[in-house]
Amino acid sequence: METRVAEDGDFIRRRRQCASCEKRFTTYERPDVTFPAIVKKDGRRIEYERAKLLASMNLALRKRPVSIEQVDGAVERIEEKLLNLGLRELPSTRIGELVMRELKKLDKVAYVRFASVYRSFEDIDEFKTLVDEVRR
């Protein structure tokens, strides 16, 4: 077995070999951390799910020239901020703002896609204002 700590120190990578078939595989070990509960707009409280965050970002980034590594890095930064806040609960709007900030850095089109859904634009003028903001 070969063990390495990732460059950023967030996880341990282990190369292993199956005792039965002798096939080699990789495992990644991360510390078990507790994220704040997410308070939805209707008041419901749900557990934070990395998969949901990743899915919403990937939807906005669909067919955009952004690598998986860049998306993973953005998710890591969002999660780090969530943990550093030290809160037990967090409004879903706060996560939405963090996602928009990261998408704006990654890809302007994805940012506009996400923001248009997240902010629930009522008319074309709100959308135009966002696009004008991004152009600056």
- What is the secondary structure of 39-76 as a DSSP string? E-TTS-EE---HHHHHHHHHHHTTTSS--HHHHHHHHH
Domain boundaries, the chain: 1-31, 33-135
Mean pLDDT (10-residue bins), the chain, 136 residues? 67 88 88 87 94 95 94 94 92 94 94 85 81 84
What is the model's pLDDT at position 129?
Answer: 85
pTM: 0.70
- d(CA 102, CA 100) in angstroms, rounded, equals 5
Report d(CA 133, CA 53) in Å as an integer.
Answer: 24
Structure confidence at residue 42 (pLDDT) = 94
Q: Which element (helix H / strand E) includes 14?
A: strand 12-17
Q: Note the pLDDT of residue 94.
A: 94
Structure-token pair, residue 124: 């074309």
